[in-house]
Structure 1
Amino acid sequence: MTSFIQKRALTSLISLVGLVVLVFFLSRLTGDPAALFLPIDATDAMREQFREIHGLNDPLLVQFWHYIVDLAHLNFGESIRKARPAIDVVLEGFLWTFQLAVITMVLVTGAAVVVGSLAAFKAGGFFDRFASFVSLIGASAPDFWIAIVGIVVFAVSLGWVPTSGTGTPLHWILPIAVLFIRPFGLIVQVVRGSMITALSSAYVKTARAKGVRTRPIIFVHALRNALLPVITVIGDQAAALLNGAVVVETIFGFPGVGKLMIDSILQRDFNVVLAAIMVTALAIFIMNLLIDLAYSLLDPRIRN
């Protein structure tokens, strides 16, 4: 088990280093921050002083070396826009995204497991066909389109929920609903397929022959043995929520790390961009490691 964890951690570390190098150099291609943060009539001397203060006058490789040295001391630099440590700004946004992702995945997992299991129990029936139809639409629909339609219908036309913000529980309904749809559709399909296989196995047929009730057959005997592929997909979708909430957060004005990342790219706040991507990537790597550990515990054959 120790060697298994070490292999996964080393793979994640290599990926993280590559991501840092790539993002550092690509972010510099967006332009000069001095052109955004200084007035139009700023003199060359003012621009030069601004770049000197923020370490932007050095050659690109020298800037990268300084950044790596600071990073080794857990110094992520300062936000140009907010004049605060970049990591503090990012962690504030990440907390919002983390809450949104956790609430969404708890709801998605519970609903998808129940719907997928019931659909598999009577495969080919009306509920199965209806659940498959809805889940396929959900898995295929683009998030930005659902978000815009949701705002137009439920916020503007009906006035049931606010269009943006986080002030009350009503502000969370649309973002959660939009993020709910795609993973729900995908997980329902995986649960259904895995449960159909489990329900056709010998131990389930034996349980039915012994007169075991329907609910224990579905949610105890069959589901327990169908969890392996389901756990993997749930983990992948949870990681995708952390990584892919950018569009939804931007549309709804949700103050998460996704919106922060977009704003920082547009405003050339390089340190915040790098810190946001690194924190998100690290969270995803940790989540993937936990998924691998859970997978290896359920199936010891993959540990080697």
Structure 2
Amino acid sequence: MSLIDNVISGGGNPAPRPNLGALMKSFIGKRAITSAISLVGLIILVFFLSRLTGDPTDLYLPLTANQEARDNFRAIHGLDQPLIVQFGKYLTDLSHLDFGMSIRRAEPAIDAVLRGFEWTLWLAVITMTLVTGAALLIGSLAAFRVGGVFDRIATFFSLIGASAPDFWIAIVAIVIFSVNLGWVPTSGTGTFWHWIMPIGVLFIRPFGLILQVVRGSMISALSSAYVKTARAKGVKNGPIIFIHALRNALLPVITVIGDQAAALLNGAVIVETIFGFPGVGKLMIDAIMQRDFPVVLAAIFVTALAIFIMNIVIDLLYAFLDPRIRY
């Protein structure tokens, strides 16, 4: 080794490159452990809080039911044991992915939840696909001419959308488009028209938030040296915006998209209830009102698990877009 090579290498052998596969496995393993701990804590909290809503016996049996009928009902649904014993049995069953039988529906709770979650997932995927595409396009174009007419209009409407509560937008939409104009139905999922208002209401808030982040990130990216170099070489505006600048502006955008996608799964509870959409959100609200404890716990578990998986996927996406994060 020459003197120059020795100086460059720091006087020793070059440090070995880290094993990216091992790093990613370690990262996923750590995230899975922390997510599992959070999930267990959530299950414990929801289990005991759900019991504070009251005894299902008072809801499902008539007031004239005798004590024997009430005792039989509690025994059938495992409510005759002390609360700590019920919790221990629930954890044992959960280790076998057994969420118990729905009190209201007389079917496995997980079956009812998975049916509802499929509807919610479709609603969330369609909404976030439209939101992401529109926010990336409009936010990028707004950042290209900062202070222009298009930028001011986009900023104005995005701020309004980010500030408006979902339940208020949903009620106003029903009054205007269903009651007064009669353009779309108020509830159900039978046709394309039934999906317009739930998707439209869920679209507005994340669109406003993501557009603002895209705009700010793109303003920074478009003022960077590599964009100026591309312009000096005669590269057209389209490739500069959507190829050179957008990829480097995506990291903070992905963070917000992930947060909004998770919030959409939670926020769909209100929208699904207002529009009578048969998703897991409406199912959860109905189960709470009906004191259907197995369905409540199964719905919380499935929704939380989906959010934890989504967060891990977003972190992996970071590493794909920016190799520096892998190390």
Q: Does 1:16 align with 2:32?
A: no
Question: 1:243-301, CA deviations, whole angstroms, 9 ceiling, x for partnerless residues?
Answer: 22000000000000000000000000000000000000000000001001111333344
**Corresponding residue to 1:182 among 187, 194, 205:** 205
Aligned mates of 1:122, 1:299 — CA distance in 2: 27
Alignment match, 2:17: none
Alignment match, 1:249: 272
Aligned mates of 1:17, 1:292 — CA distance in 2: 22
- SS in structure 2 opposite 1:78? coil
Alignment match, 1:111: 134
Alignment match, 1:299: 322
Question: 1:189-233, CA deviations, whole angstroms, 9 ceiling, x for partnerless residues?
Answer: 000000000000011111111111111110001001111111111
**Corresponding residue to 1:28 among 42, 47, 51:** 51
Aligned mates of 2:179, 2:46 — CA distance in 1: 38
Please, what TM-score do these two structures have when normalized by structure 1? 0.98
Q: How many correspondences in the alignment?
A: 304
Deviation at 1:239, TM superposition (A): 1.1
Alignment match, 2:18: none
Deviation at 1:45, TM superposition (A): 1.0
Deviation at 1:303, TM superposition (A): 4.5
Aligned mates of 1:13, 1:302 — CA distance in 2: 24
Alignment match, 2:8: none
- For structure 1, which runs of at least 5 residues remain unmatched after alignment? none
Aligned mates of 1:243, 1:187 — CA distance in 2: 17
Amino acid at match of 2:83: L
Aligned mates of 1:7, 1:130 — CA distance in 2: 44
Question: 1:56-98, CA deviations, whole angstroms, 9 ceiling, x for partnerless residues?
Answer: 0100000000000111111110000000000000000000000
Alignment match, 1:42: 65
Contact 1:79 1:85 in 2 (8 A): yes
Aligned mates of 2:316, 2:255 — CA distance in 1: 11
Alignment of structure 1 residues 1-304 onto 2, 5 Å: 1-303=24-326
Give the stretch that moved more between structures: 172-181 or 42-51: 42-51
Aligned mates of 1:207, 1:301 — CA distance in 2: 23
Q: Once the two structures are aligned, what percentage of the paired residues are identical?
A: 77
- SS in structure 2 opposite 1:245? helix
Aligned mates of 1:184, 1:74 — CA distance in 2: 36
Q: Structure 1 segments of 4 or more deviating over 6 A?
A: none
Question: 1:155-204, CA deviations, whole angstroms, 9 ceiling, x for partnerless residues?
Answer: 11000000111110100000000000000000000000000000000111
Deviation at 1:302, TM superposition (A): 4.0
- SS in structure 2 opposite 1:127? helix
Alignment match, 2:19: none
Contact 1:4 1:303 in 2 (8 A): no
Contact 1:296 1:303 in 2 (8 A): yes
Aligned mates of 2:266, 2:243 — CA distance in 1: 33
Deviation at 1:242, TM superposition (A): 1.1
Amino acid at match of 2:131: V
Aligned mates of 1:217, 1:56 — CA distance in 2: 64
Greater Rg by CA = 2
Contact 1:105 1:238 in 2 (8 A): yes
- SS in structure 1 opposite 2:168? helix
Aligned mates of 1:297, 1:116 — CA distance in 2: 23
Amino acid at match of 1:12: S
